Structure 1
């Protein structure tokens, strides 16, 4: 059984009791902005976050000879400029999505002990396993399911999850081919190394939170995979960073959300963006989502074909191990910053080639980065 669950609940409940007592004995304290500095910052950040519509792409156009090229370009541009985009006509039926959501709700409605014992490999998670303080705690519970272990699920859950994972794999591979084509590369390497037994599903549940200003639903992070495909409900909560500011993603019940992971950013030599994102907690409404993570085997090496390469060659296993170690020691993920080649450095968020003294901004023009990702010096080489 995963012991940190009880410790995190005790930590949070203790904080709630202390806050309630403070309000009882000192009502004026709740009016002072200094009484809860992190809460004030969190609430302010949520209020200041601008609501946005992510780029919306109709994948049905890929089947049209007249529109396929433009559709592919929109996918490439969205991955480079946003790191996130929405897709419709994606081939995953509403019937399947509905059955999955009903099964997901039933799984989370089970007693806590049964959820913990559903898997023998600690697939059920509550909060953040490595959290040592409230600022690192996510107010959520999840089933983190390696698809290689899906046969351990109950039969009713297993059938719909297996059907969903097959649909997600087909969709992810279609997107991989398009994004690889945008780099002048072939997506075969990614498809051959991201097999069913290396990918994951994460079923998320965000219950109403009594301290929404102090605890995130999911702490800010980037994804350590190639691509993530997300199916969310209609409750707001997802935010991503765009041009240094947090923006709130407006839920679209008819769309799936796709975001670029760290591995694709490295493989594309920085063209495609693995963007920091988070989920805000909600005091009144619960929220559900399902994420499919396109991951390779631990032995798979990630390397850009472009020269000069921003990131050194590394294996996925090595990268995951370093991420876990950093989170354990520092409380947060350092990620790709550790993999920047020695001839590159970062100065105030700008990646700089120290040999050629040519700056490449963290969010440079798409044409410039596309040229770099193909190993050319001229931005004009981009389409």
Structure 2
């Protein structure tokens, strides 16, 4: 048997090594400390998976003003990308470089506040803002998102009582600009289907849309941990402004591909509701964000959503999906995540 002095020394060395290990894995928010049991339960291979990098289809919105034929071709290209990729990127989109830069700078400032302050205080001065990090319901590493985010419903963005807050003022300005862009793109994609409708203007106003400010901290633990796990978006359209770190991946033809960042472009992707509304003319595809071992990544996502009581019914026949409300869709997604650990989405609503 080992004498007590040797056992005590070994225990002391173990405690010291664990302290050093935890210190090396410290992050803000405390992701590794919080989810350490998941890493202990599941052995992960710590290697980089090689995924081919591609540029998304590029749409120059300035061409919309170049003449009728050029405009129609631009819309067709946008629709083709929405069908074949579920993603495209836009340049000359009307949102100034200065505004995008200010949004990025202000976002970085708020995320670099201490974790305790982010978790307990309303740093953005929005009464409905929600600070989120990790994945509270994760039972394995495949369900863990190595990230933090501020979820901001736009319902309170126009409150002028916060006009002296630089971050608040920047968010208001950005939200107004990106909302206009989303409405324009939704209308153009609808026009390609042969419809002229006020559906999106009537149902997807500021009271139902939202922004999400994202930060993906460096992840030294494993290259296989996602910054944001694989998912499809439960909206009509998402518009993403990201930095140049990269990490966004999408699934095309059954394979994951990495999206090459474009400093001048905003990324647009189709959500579940648009796929259902277009009767599968446009596709909502799986995508995820991979972590970076050394560099943090920032992005801002705008989600074009309808009110909860809005009826989603296809504009084409025969219908692939039964009609449903956005509230019904959200509730089904939440129920599936709780009971099964992942989202099912549109297959639940097939005719």
TM over 0.5: yes
Over 3 Å counting, the alpha-carbon distance change for 1:6 and 1:280 in structure 2 is closer
Give the CA deviation at 1:129. Answer: 3.8
Match of 2:279? 269
1:145 aligns with 2:152: yes
Match of 1:189? 199
Query: Which whole-Å CA distance do the structure 2 matches of 1:124 and 1:110 have between them?
Result: 12
Match of 1:61? 63
Query: Which whole-Å CA distance do the structure 1 matches of 2:97 and 2:231 have between them?
Result: 29
The structure, 1 or 2, with the larger RCO (C-alpha pairs under 8 Å, 6+ apart) is 2
Give the CA deviation at 1:274. Answer: 0.2
> Conserved in 1, the CA contact under 8 Å of 2:245 and 2:261?
yes
1:12 aligns with 2:19: no
> Conserved in 2, the CA contact under 8 Å of 1:212 and 1:280?
no
> Conserved in 2, the CA contact under 8 Å of 1:130 and 1:327?
no
1:225 aligns with 2:235: yes
Alignment of 1:1-383 (within 5 A): 9-14=32-37, 36=43, 38-39=44-45, 43=47, 46-47=49-50, 49-65=51-67, 66-116=69-119, 117-118=121-122, 121=128, 123-150=130-157, 151=159, 155-341=165-351
5+ residue gaps in structure 2?
A: 1-27
Give the CA deviation at 1:133. Answer: 2.6
Query: Which whole-Å CA distance do the structure 2 matches of 1:64 and 1:122 have between them?
Result: 41
Give the CA deviation at 1:8. Answer: 6.0
> Conserved in 2, the CA contact under 8 Å of 1:62 and 1:68?
yes
Using structure 1 for the length normalisation, give the TM-score. Answer: 0.78
Give the CA deviation at 1:7. Answer: 9.4
Equivalent residues, number: 316
Give the CA deviation at 1:190. Answer: 1.7
Give the CA deviation at 1:111. Answer: 1.1
Query: Which whole-Å CA distance do the structure 2 matches of 1:133 and 1:11 have between them?
Result: 13
